[in-house]
Structures are given as structure tokens and as C-alpha cells.
A = this chain, B = another copy of it.
Amino acid sequence: MTASELARWIRPVRRDVEKALKACVPPARVKPATIHRAMRYSLLAGGKRLRPLLCCAAAEACGGTVRQAMPAACAVELVHAYSLIHDDLPCMDDDDLRRGKPTSHRVFGEGIAVLAGDALLTEAFAVLARARPAARHTGADLVAVLAEASGSRGLIAGQVADLEAEGKKPSEPALYFVHAAKTGMLLRAALKLGGMCTGGSASRIATLDRFGFALGLAFQIQDDILDETQSVAKLGKTAGKDAAAGKMTFPALYGLPRSREMAARWTREAVHHLRPFGSKGDVLRALTERLLHRDH
């Protein structure tokens, strides 16, 4: 699949995702207006929508449609948006800029930012509960997968380990743990949920999970590299911040050239896992390659 074929696949899917996300959160006029304004501010701030795209591509790889995967795609993005708001709080990473705009707590204050995150997380489960997966899996199964990926042994475990690692000497196991939990768990959930929504078999779901693990590492290594090498304008968030905070990153531990090699290796590993999908895995394959070569 060429870059322009991929772009042609992405465009309508991303448009549908934006539309569906808009419908996930009450309009700003619904009382209390502040919270709905804050939720929409963060959720509809643009972004790559990587997780929804992966979710929809996984659905197609399992023989289903984008439409079937849409509630799950939205749920995963809702969780992602919540996690960014809370990560940016002064008591966490204390960031002022996200997706090129002031962070939630800079605009709405810390109290509302905490609550907006809470509300987006809650809404994720509400949206997922309304999904009607095709066969084999129930709505409750979807909820269980998302909750596991987002919980204290998933996304949150990564954030805790990240907080606790600050200023400590980086170690390889700790670095992999943080990155696998903080980025990988939600990417894997996006893929698995996409497959589950369309009645994918247990073996297909397991394959998507293994693919997601490798993809998550490739993605996070590339993210670390971009954080060191790109400008604020490109990234839309404070650059060089991780290094300044003494955070564990791949470049900090291995240097840039070796980090680049590792990103390429995990990308190959990810693509390798897609073999059982044949040509149905073309979009996932192209998305994976594109992530390695992105510049923001």
C-alpha cells in the first residue's frame, strides 16, 4: 500500500472518528457548562487519532467494518484524552502546552481539569457499553479489556513508574516497563477492541495483541527520539522536556543512533506479526511504517 493509498484510507475514517467523538460529549450548553467545555476542549483538540485509526484498521483486518468499530475507537480516544489531561497536571508532568494549545489546567484551573479527565474516562465506558459487538464477544468483554488496559496494571502503572523513575538512574527493565505500560497497553487495547467488535477469533485477537506490543515500543522509541530532536512548533508540546526532567528515555539510555535502530527493529517485528492477515493487514502495515517515519 502506497503512502497516498494510506492517506486515502485515513481521510474518511478520521472524519468519521471526529464526528463520532463530537457526539460522545454533551454540547457545551448542557449544564454544568464548564465541564462540558473542558471535556470538548481536550477531546476535540485535533491530534493524530492514532488509537481510533488502529482500532478501525484492526476491525477491517478481521473482516469487519469501520462502522462496527466506531464506539470502541471513540472509547479508546476518550481514555487517551483523559490520560493526557491528568499527565499534564502540575502534580504530574506539569506541562503548559499540548497539541499546540495551553493545557486544560492552564485554561480551566486544576479542579476542573481533574474533573474533565475523570468525566472523559467515565464516558469511555459509557460509550463502550453502548457498542454491540458482532459475535463471540459481549459489551462487557469490551469493557473488561479497556478497563484492564487503563487500570493500575496498565496505563496507570506506566504513569506511576514514570513519576517514580524521575531523576533515578535509567535501567533497561524499568524503561521497558514504563513504555510498555504507558503507551503499549492502550494501543493493544485499541487493536484488540477493533478485532472484538467485528467478531474476530481468539487467535486473531491474540495476534493483534502481539502486533500491538511491538508497535507500542516502536512508537514510544520514536516519540522519545522526536522529543529530543524536534522543535516545539512541530510537536505541539514542550520539547526536550523529558531529558530536562531527567526522565528515562531510549535516547538517554542508548543514544540517538542506537535508538533509531531499535525503533526500526521493533517496527519490523510489528509488521512480521501481521502476516496471518495477508492483504487484509495492509492498512495496519502501512500505518506502522508511517509511524516510524513521522516527524511529529
Chain A residues packing against B (C-beta within 8 Å):
25-26, 30-32, 34-36, 39, 82, 86, 89, 91-92, 109-112, 114-115, 117-119, 121-123, 125-126, 128-131, 138-144, 146-148, 150-153, 156-157, 159-161, 163-164, 177
Contact = CB atoms under 8 A, between A and B. Distances in A.
Nearest to A144: B129
Contacts of A86: 114-115, 118
A141 to B, nearest CB: 7
A32 B143 contact: no
Contact of A122 (B32, B36, B89, B150): B150
Given A91-B109, A139-B138, A157 B122 contact: no
B143 A125 contact: yes
Contacts of A36: 152
A118 B119 contact: no
Question: What DSSP secondary structure best describes chain A's contact surface?
Answer: helix
A14 B137 CA distance: 34
Contact of A139 (B109, B115, B140, B150): B140
B141 A129 contact: yes
A153 B96 CA distance: 28
Contacts of A119: 151-152, 156
A199 to B, nearest CB: 16
Nearest to A145: B129
B122 A129 contact: no
Contacts of A143: 125-126, 128-129, 139-140, 143
Contacts of A82: 118
A123 B154 CA distance: 11
A123 B152 contact: yes
